[in-house]
């Protein structure tokens, strides 16, 4: 037994390796060289013929041959499987520019989204949601809010009636009274809801629309705090750099009353069609709660003060999304809704 035999085996293996191109060749190489009757295996069988003293050195040589064969096969196997994978990958097809498979996307209604956003913003200030019925008594909707029967302000809010004393609420302000009657100060609530006005329907008037009302009642609140909180909300909601202006106005249930104007979100105050060139948009009515209203809510105005605010959700959504016709919110055209 000499080394030439070993070299011969390696040479033959080398040739076979060259010619191998399929994964099936790997198996036959394993059988022919490492199998029970394989060339390398048979070398071990010949160990007995080698003089005892030479066996360790010879054994080492055979092991080296075996290692070479094994690593050669492993290498081959790796190369071939890589090649096969590459071929498979390269022959596959996908047009990544073709539209994605259908994902059944739905949407919140924009009005519901705007309400959620307002509620969330006030929620962070600790305001919780309070609700009231759509159909109210005259007392809750008007009288308790300092709007007596003869009050000229009642003319501004022509109302639908379901009974002599069952009015479709003209604003969410009645929730102020209901909340005060059932809870103790400090009170911090927002009240989103549907309201109804007997208006002719046009691009800016809908007989059904939504408001979010807010109320804070506490011992220590005051006009400056009212301004601070409302300004924070407006900046957070309409943009951090927006100017916020408080303009004296009138609501029977607040005194002093204010309209809150925010720098126009369309032109950033330069003046445009949206803000009628004023640079500002009226976004909410607000004010310090009138002492009579606190009294009607069983709260002593000598001890507590409060402020309240209310905003029209459709108006804010129209400004924000450049919706020109309020009726679009109630047509429910899926092509409209899908844009939100």
Partner 1 sequence: MKILLSSLKQFVDLSGMDPLKIAADITMGGLKVDAVEYLGKGLESVVSGKIVKIEKHPDAEKLTVCTLDTASEKLTIVCGAKNMAEGDIVPVAKIGAKLPCGLEIKPAELRGVKSHGMLCSEKELGLAKESSGLMILDKTTPPGTPFAEAAGLDDWLLDIDVTAQRGDAMSVLGVARDLCALYSKELKMPAYKLVEDASKKTSDAVKIEIADKKLCPRYMARVIENLKIAPSPAWLSKIIESIGLRTVNNVVDITNYISYMYGHPSHAFDYDKLCSPAVISVRTAKPGEKMEAIDNKEYELSPEMLLICDNSAPRAIAGVMGGKYSEVNENTSKILIEVAVFNPVTVRKTSRKLSLSSESSQRFTRGVDICDGEYIIDAIASLICEVSPGAICYGGILDNGEKEPSLKEIAIEIDKLNEFCGHKSSEAEFTAILKRLNFKIKTEGAGKLLLTAPSYRHDIFDSCDIYEEFLRIYGYNNIAGVEISLPYSKPVESTFGAVAKITDFFANSGFYQCMNYSFIGKEDIKKEKFDSFDEKYLVKILNPLGAEFSIMRPSMLSGLLKTMQYNINQKAETVKIFEIGNIYRLAEIKQQPEKHTPVVACGGIDHKIIETQCVAGLVCGALEQGYWNARKDALDFYYLKGVVEALFASFKTPVEFRPLNNKNNMHPKKTAALYLENGECAGYIGVLHPAAAANYDMDLSKEVIVFEIDTQILVANLNKPFKVREISKFPQSVYDLAVMISKDVTYSAIEKACRKAGGKNLKSVAAFDEYIGDKIASDKKSVAVTLTFQSDEGTLSDVETKKSFEAVIAEIKLSLAGELRS
Residue choice 41, 121, 137, 266 for contact with partner 1 (CB under 8 A): 137
Q: Is 130 in the site for partner 1 (CB under 8 A)?
A: yes
For partner 1, which residue of 91, 248, 303, 324 counts as binding (CB under 8 A)?
248
Contact segment (CB under 8 A) with partner 1 among 48-56, 67-75, 82-90, 105-113 equals 105-113
Q: Is 311 among the residues that bind partner 1 (CB under 8 A)?
A: no
CB of 23 to partner 1, least distance (A): 35
Q: Which is nearer to partner 1, 16 or 188 (CB)?
A: 188
Cα torsion 139, 145, 148, 149: sign: negative
Q: Among residues 57 and 224, whose Cβ is nearest to partner 1?
A: 224
Q: According to the binding rule CB under 8 A, does residue 208 interact with partner 1?
A: yes
The site string for partner 1 over 9-38 (x = CB under 8 A, - otherwise) reads ------------------------------
We find the least distance from the C-beta atom of residue 89 to partner 1, in angstroms, to be 23
Smaller CB separation from partner 1, 80 or 267: 267
Is the separation of the CB atoms in 310 and 284 below 8 Å? yes
- What residues pair up with 190 in beta bridges, in sequence order? 129, 214
Which one-letter DSSP state was computed for residue 35? S
* Binding status of residue 179 toward partner 1 by CB under 8 A: yes
Give the phi and the psi of residue 309 in degrees, each rounded to 5: -150, 160
Give residues 156-175 in contact with partner 1 (rule: CB under 8 A). 156, 160-168
223 near partner 1, rule: CB under 8 A: yes
31's enclosing H/E stretch is none
Closest distance of CB 322 from partner 1, Å: 19
By the rule CB under 8 A, 321 interacts with partner 1: no
Check binding of 205 to partner 1 (CB under 8 A). no
The sign of the dihedral angle between the CA atoms of 219, 223, 227, 233 is positive
Rule CB under 8 A: say whether 323 interacts with partner 1: no
What are the residues facing 187 on neighbouring strands? 217
Instruction: Answer yes or no whether residue 299 interacts with partner 1 by CB under 8 A.
Output: no
Segment lying near partner 1 (by CB under 8 A), choices 1-9, 39-47, 77-85, 129-137: 129-137
Q: Which is nearer to partner 1, 53 or 104 (CB)?
A: 104
Interaction residues for partner 1, span 53-82 (CB under 8 A): none
Please say which residue, 33 or 253, places its beta carbon nearer to partner 1.
253
- The residue among 61 and 139 lying less far from partner 1, judged by its C-beta, is 139
Q: What H or E segment, with its residue span, contains residue 300?
A: none
Count of chain residues binding partner 1 (CB under 8 A): 103
What phi, psi does 305 have (nearest 5°)?
Answer: -125, 165
Kind plus residue range of the DSSP H or E element containing 307: strand 305-312
Q: What minimum distance in Å lies between the beta carbon of 129 and partner 1?
A: 4
For residue 278, CA distances in Å to 218, 221, 267, 281, 326 come to 35, 32, 10, 8, 22
Rounded to an integer, what distance in angstroms lies between the CA atom of residue 36 and that of residue 204? 93
What tokens does 151 get? 């009050």
| Residue 259 is a binding residue for partner 1 (CB under 8 A) | yes
Helix (H) / strand (E) element for 211: namely strand 208-218
Among 17, 34, 50, 245, binds partner 1 (CB under 8 A): 245
246 binds partner 1 (CB under 8 A): yes
**Toward partner 1, which CB reaches closer, 70 or 143?**
143
Return d(Cα 262, Cα 268) in angstroms, integer. 9
Beta bridge partners of 213: 191, 310
DSSP state of 68: H
User: Do 215 and 156 form a contact (C-beta atoms < 8 A)?
Assistant: no
Q: Are 192 and 173 in contact (CB under 8 A)?
A: no
> Up-side HSE of residue 273: CA atoms within 13 Å toward CB?
2
């Amino acid at each position: 037994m000499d080394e030439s035999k070993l070299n011969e085996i390696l040479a033959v293996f080398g040739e076979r390796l060259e010619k191998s191109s399929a994964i099936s060749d790997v198996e036959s190489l394993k059988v022919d060289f490492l199998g029970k009757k394989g060339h390398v295996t048979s070398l071990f069988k010949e160990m007995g013929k080698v003089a005892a003293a030479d066996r360790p050195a010879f054994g080492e040589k055979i092991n080296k041959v075996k290692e070479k064969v094994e690593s050669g096969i492993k290498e081959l196997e790796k190369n071939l499987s890589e090649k096969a994978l590459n071929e498979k990958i390269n022959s596959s097809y996908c047009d990544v520019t073709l539209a994605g498979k259908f994902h059944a996307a739905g949407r919140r209604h924009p009005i519901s989204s705007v309400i959620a956003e307002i509620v969330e913003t006030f929620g962070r200030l600790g305001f919780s949601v309070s609700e009231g019925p759509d159909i109210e008594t005259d007392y809750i909707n008007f009288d308790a809010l300092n709007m007596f029967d003869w009050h000229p302000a009642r003319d501004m809010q022509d109302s639908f009636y379901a009974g002599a004393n069952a009015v479709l609420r003209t604003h969410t302000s009645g929730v102020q009274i209901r909340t005060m009657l059932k809870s103790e100060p400090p009170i911090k609530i927002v009240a989103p809801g549907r309201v109804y006005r007997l208006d002719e329907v046009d691009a800016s008037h809908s007989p059904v629309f939504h408001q979010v009302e807010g109320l804070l009642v506490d011992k220590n609140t005051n006009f400056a705090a009212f301004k601070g909180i409302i300004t924070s909300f407006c900046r957070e909601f309409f943009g951090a750099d927006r100017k916020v202006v408080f303009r004296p106005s009138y609501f029977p249930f607040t005194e002093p009353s204010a309209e809150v104007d925010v720098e126009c979100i369309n032109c950033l105050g330069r003046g445009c069609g949206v803000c009628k060139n004023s640079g500002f948009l009226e976004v909410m009515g607000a004010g310090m709660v009138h002492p009579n209203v606190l009294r009607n809510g069983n709260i002593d105005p000598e001890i507590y003060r409060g402020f309240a605010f209310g905003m029209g959700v459709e108006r804010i959504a129209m400004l924000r999304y450049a919706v020109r016709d309020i009726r679009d919110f109630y047509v429910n055209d899926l092509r409209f809704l899908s844009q939100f």
